Structure 1
Amino acid sequence: MAETVTTTGETLPKGFRGAELGWPELHRIPHPPHRLPLLGDVLGASRNTPLQDSLRYARQLGPIFRRKAFGREFVFVWGAELAADMADESRFAKHVGLGIANLRPVVGDALFTAYNHEPNWQLAHDVLAPGFSREAMAAYHPMMLAVAERLTAHWDGELAAGRSVDVPGDMTKLTLETIARTGFGHDFGSFERTRPHPFVTAMVGTLTYAQRLNTIPHPRLLRRAARRNAADIAHLNRTVDDLVRKRRGGGGGDGDLLDRMLDTAHPETGERLSAQNVRRQVITFLVAGHETTSGALSFALHYLSLNPQVAARARAEVDRVWADAAVPGYDQVAKLRYVRRVLDEALRLWPTAPAFAREAREDTVLGGEHPMRRGGWALVLTAMLHRDPQVWGAHAERFDPDRFDTSAVRSRAPHTFKPFGTGARACIGRQFALHEATLVLGLLLRRYDLRPDPAYRLRVAERLTLMPEGLRLGLERRTAPVGSPEPAPRPDAPDRAAPGASVPHGTMSEPRCPVHRAGD
């Protein structure tokens, strides 16, 4: 496959630049009106919220559309049938481009950013996959509980002081400490800090810089930010190098992910991960292993606070399944089926990794209508795929966990729910993230009643991943006895309500998703 070199010096597969998209009949794909010469589709667009702008264009333009900015053109796909076509592994593969390629200076050919032809991806995947087996997950469970106890101790302190809690900030502390402890035996001391750990600051800086590179004509316009990004990358590298150095000097750990990276050979070839590869994988897991999970938890807590009947139903399930157990066991987490539905519904509305790119393995025709050359690529707009009314109904913007009832899931076509990507390159840690998030939601529901700020309206910040911005919740310690009966299922009103019907604030039948763009 022919390749091109970007201005950052990174080698990217053909198809990265607009002129090489690999769509012979690009003119047949609609684009926003009022396109400007040279600048492209910039009228009404925001530099800070490109994903949310794309959702708006998707509603206007249909299941496949294109956007152009500063000479680069991108094709977006979100219709369920087209997205399912692109999930066909025999015809399409992961494409590394846009913000993901911009992270290559940070983590190189790590699991998330490796090109399909790079051998280190398969090597690392095969070495690390056993670290996410059921046996490994059960071993992580006590450490997840220990970190969750630090969160509840912190929230108890905020409650005693009469303060609301910073949900995104505290979920970021929680998930960073969880992946650091379970994967690498490290403690960042996040809950003992009044400000984010410098590792988090550097991580957010690199993600934000990678996002900004997609919204400017040339990287030279970000010289000062580029220097800051280089300093952030150096801090990430130093942090991980120190972590690895201590592990090597300490004689090993307890068989966690870092031990696997340092000591495990490929089961067939005997090859081991190089020192550079270890560093890149550790940074990848520390960043991706906590950034997306913290967003998922934050969105779920936001919707639980707005929907007290959902929170009551989920809480009753926790009381019933965990009964009088002071500490839930590993197997008890998977039994929280309704809590898991709450999490899945939050991931449906706001998948914290909101898109993924796919490229054609050979010349093909997408959906029987759109020719694509080998290497041609498009972004599957997950956040809009999850809102496709042909799949999710006329009220797809509503929060309704019963969309993930077993019968509802079985009735839907495959490839319509993709919060962790698709195919061989889907997120290796998805079961880790789901177990952690379900456990934490169960613990928080059992301990607290959540009180929303009546003045808050959801604002979504974008830094490659998505996160609620400025979300704070009030807390009340529960007084209801453990083991209280589960309430009767809620009425089926939401999806059967008449379009435009008036609905009280905070119910599952809100007429539209109350989203304001970050920075507005």
Structure 2
Amino acid sequence: MAETTTEAGPQERAPLPKGFRSAEQGWPELHRIPRPPRRVPLLGDIIGADRRTPVQDSMRYGRQLGPIFRRKAFGKEFVFVWGAALAADLADEARFAKHVGLGVANLRPVVGDALFTAYNHEPNWQLAHDVLAPGFNREAMQGYHPMMLAVAEQLTGHWDRELAAGRAVDVPGDMTKLTLETIARTGFGHDFGSFGRSRPHPFVSAMVGTLSYAQRLNTVPAPLAPYLLRRASRRNEADMAHLNRTVDDLVRARRAGDGGGSGDLLDRMLETAHPRTGERLSAENVRRQVITFLVAGHETTSGALSFALHHLSRHPEVAARARAEVDAVWGDAELPGYDQVARLRYVRRVLDESLRLWPTAPAFAREAREDTLLAGEHPMRRGAWALVLTMMLHRDPAVWGADAERFDPDRFDPGAVRARAPHTFKPFGTGARACIGRQFALHEATLVLGLLLRRYDLRPDPGYRLRVTERLTLMPEGLRLHLERRPARAGAAAAPALGEAPSDARCPVRGAGD
């Protein structure tokens, strides 16, 4: 989801508008940090690298080189960190702040200074955060719950039809439809009609295009990008234009009184003034925030659900334990209440363990607010930055044990969580700019896993081997599951139908938290 914000801090300065700053600027003793052994002049560390999987390539280098290492590409050096002690030091908000670089900065042409992509010194992110944060409090979440159920009913209806036809389900595709409809409905009162389409909604296609293009920009020298990516650049311009048109139409309809959200996120963007300054979001910033929420609000959650369903299908003993919890907590009712979702503690552990192994936002960058020593050892000048590889941090054997690659939800048993050092589990980023929609995503994902476990047995394709596609976020590629419908529980027939809320349900939380 989009990220929250904090005060700008002492690193305020005019950011570089294009390209990415070389990490060696500000790392006085860069030579002390290991690097890959076979470096090609001018091109850098490209031997064995795949431009389609830069994060997974970096994981491989991390295993070889240790908890801090560097890679060079086209004359620019980048520092990567995954050791728990180093990552914990970078989490110190007094000395480090979010760094907007690499693929994140490449998204600024479409979303500018929205919550996720704003530089620390830009004022609009603080304004947007203060206006929008109440939209994720408990009262607001309770208002979203019936709409989440309504979208889940569309998913299960679709899966029932696939099951009746003897077809396996397209997990990443269907989770993308689910999460797009959920954030669109709850946040903006809009229905994309995703489950009525045989192909992805054009908004999803445009979104995937912009994310993929942003990552691809990292794989070519910045001066040559206009020439090497000419065709891709034209396609990206068309994708950005489609995103803008979609959101402009949505906002125009809301201003005209068509499809009012009764206090949803879009109403907040359009109607709510800052509680202290009275300032409102500009029309341009509203567009940027809506695109950010629609993209980030569904892309990461769909990946988290897809990885969780993959692991559940491969670990029937875990699925059985999680299903038993759902049956015990929800009883015979088909329609769980908001508080019943929070009581699915083992299901939540399944989700957390999936996010540990495959955090769908696989890295985050931190920059020094002042001249400092990272972990008391590596000098960093003000503005120097490093990329924390979340997937490797989550696999650090010093924290997670020699079996860190093994899927085990009991790693998130309360006792195990208390025994671990802080800052070792970071699927939503860190600090004051960690994900503003974390509770929204966790509630949605836990609810959906509970509903699917209760309704279906999940059967994997025996020949499938997990492949992960990267487009700034991570998603299992080509994941399909076979379903078996579980028998209805006794007494469930008299319960309300799943997702009873109508498809045009509106958010009933106007002013929640104000």
Which TM-score applies when normalising by structure 1? 0.90
- 1:227 alignment counterpart: 234
Amino acid of the structure 1 residue aligned with 2:196: E
Mapped to 2, the partners of 1:150 and 1:43 lie a distance apart of: 46
Mapped to 2, the partners of 1:71 and 1:339 lie a distance apart of: 46
Q: How does 1:363-512 map to 2 (within 5 A)?
A: 363-479=371-487, 481=489
Q: Mean alpha-carbon deviation: is it higher for 68-77 or for 132-141?
A: 68-77
Structure 1 pair 339–4 and aligned structure 2 pair: CA distance change class (3 A):
closer
TM superposition shift of 1:4: 5.9
SS state at 2:484 partner: strand
Contact 2:62 2:68 in 1 (8 A): yes
Q: How does 1:114-263 map to 2 (within 5 A)?
A: 114-217=118-221, 218-220=224-226, 221-250=228-257, 252-263=260-271
- 2:107 alignment counterpart: 103
Amino acid of the structure 1 residue aligned with 2:213: Y
- 2:496 alignment counterpart: none
TM superposition shift of 1:17: 2.3
Taking every aligned residue pair, what percent have the same amino acid on both sides?
A: 84
Mapped to 1, the partners of 2:398 and 2:231 lie a distance apart of: 46
Amino acid of the structure 1 residue aligned with 2:277: T
Q: Mean alpha-carbon deviation: is it higher for 167-176 or for 251-260?
A: 251-260
Mapped to 2, the partners of 1:314 and 1:296 lie a distance apart of: 17
Give RMSD over aligned pairs.
1.3
- 2:87 alignment counterpart: 83
SS state at 1:359 partner: strand
Q: Mean alpha-carbon deviation: is it higher for 243-252 or for 115-124?
A: 243-252
Mapped to 1, the partners of 2:342 and 2:305 lie a distance apart of: 17
TM superposition shift of 1:135: 0.2
Contact 1:18 1:72 in 2 (8 A): yes
Mapped to 1, the partners of 2:99 and 2:43 lie a distance apart of: 25
Q: How does 1:266-285 map to 2 (within 5 A)?
A: 266-285=274-293
Q: Which structure 1 segments of 5+ residues have no match?
A: 484-520
Mapped to 1, the partners of 2:262 and 2:175 lie a distance apart of: 26
SS state at 2:475 partner: strand
SS state at 1:241 partner: helix
Contact 1:95 1:358 in 2 (8 A): yes
TM superposition shift of 1:479: 2.8
Contact 1:111 1:121 in 2 (8 A): yes
Mapped to 2, the partners of 1:90 and 1:322 lie a distance apart of: 44
- 2:304 alignment counterpart: 296
Deviations 1:265-316 (A, max 9, x none): 0000000000000000000000000000000000000000000000000000
Mapped to 2, the partners of 1:482 and 1:62 lie a distance apart of: 55
- 1:502 alignment counterpart: none
Amino acid of the structure 1 residue aligned with 2:49: A
Contact 2:24 2:77 in 1 (8 A): no
TM superposition shift of 1:18: 2.0
Mapped to 2, the partners of 1:350 and 1:50 lie a distance apart of: 15
Mapped to 2, the partners of 1:418 and 1:47 lie a distance apart of: 25
Contact 2:359 2:474 in 1 (8 A): yes
Contact 1:21 1:377 in 2 (8 A): no
Structure 1 pair 264–43 and aligned structure 2 pair: CA distance change class (3 A):
same
Deviations 1:99-151 (A, max 9, x none): 00000001000000000000000000000000000000000000000000000
Contact 1:339 1:438 in 2 (8 A): yes
Deviations 1:210-242 (A, max 9, x none): 000011123121011001000000000000000
Contact 1:96 1:114 in 2 (8 A): yes
SS state at 2:26 partner: coil
2:63 equivalent to 1:55 = no
Mapped to 2, the partners of 1:106 and 1:403 lie a distance apart of: 39
Mapped to 1, the partners of 2:240 and 2:315 lie a distance apart of: 41
TM superposition shift of 1:253: 2.4
Mapped to 2, the partners of 1:268 and 1:436 lie a distance apart of: 32
- 1:22 alignment counterpart: 26
Mapped to 1, the partners of 2:13 and 2:270 lie a distance apart of: 35
TM superposition shift of 1:11: 5.5
Deviations 1:74-93 (A, max 9, x none): 10000000000000000000
SS state at 1:130 partner: helix
Mapped to 1, the partners of 2:462 and 2:18 lie a distance apart of: 49
Contact 1:359 1:378 in 2 (8 A): yes
Count of aligned pairs between the two proteins: 477
SS state at 1:378 partner: strand
Mapped to 2, the partners of 1:356 and 1:461 lie a distance apart of: 18
Amino acid of the structure 2 residue aligned with 1:341: R
Which TM-score applies when normalising by structure 2? 0.91
Mapped to 2, the partners of 1:195 and 1:454 lie a distance apart of: 26
Mapped to 2, the partners of 1:442 and 1:463 lie a distance apart of: 28
Mapped to 1, the partners of 2:190 and 2:133 lie a distance apart of: 21
Structure of greater relative contact order (alpha carbons < 8 Å, 6+ residues apart): 2
- 2:8 alignment counterpart: none
Structure 1 pair 19–76 and aligned structure 2 pair: CA distance change class (3 A):
closer
Contact 1:17 1:73 in 2 (8 A): no
Mapped to 2, the partners of 1:207 and 1:18 lie a distance apart of: 22
- 1:315 alignment counterpart: 323
Deviations 1:342-389 (A, max 9, x none): 000000000000000000000000011000000000001101000000
SS state at 1:458 partner: coil
Structure 1 pair 197–62 and aligned structure 2 pair: CA distance change class (3 A):
same
Contact 1:21 1:74 in 2 (8 A): no
Amino acid of the structure 1 residue aligned with 2:484: E
Amino acid of the structure 2 residue aligned with 1:325: A
Mapped to 2, the partners of 1:416 and 1:482 lie a distance apart of: 43
Deviations 1:429-479 (A, max 9, x none): 000000000000000000000000000000000000000000000000013
Q: How does 1:7-46 map to 2 (within 5 A)?
A: 10=17, 16-18=20-22, 20-46=24-50
Amino acid of the structure 1 residue aligned with 2:170: D
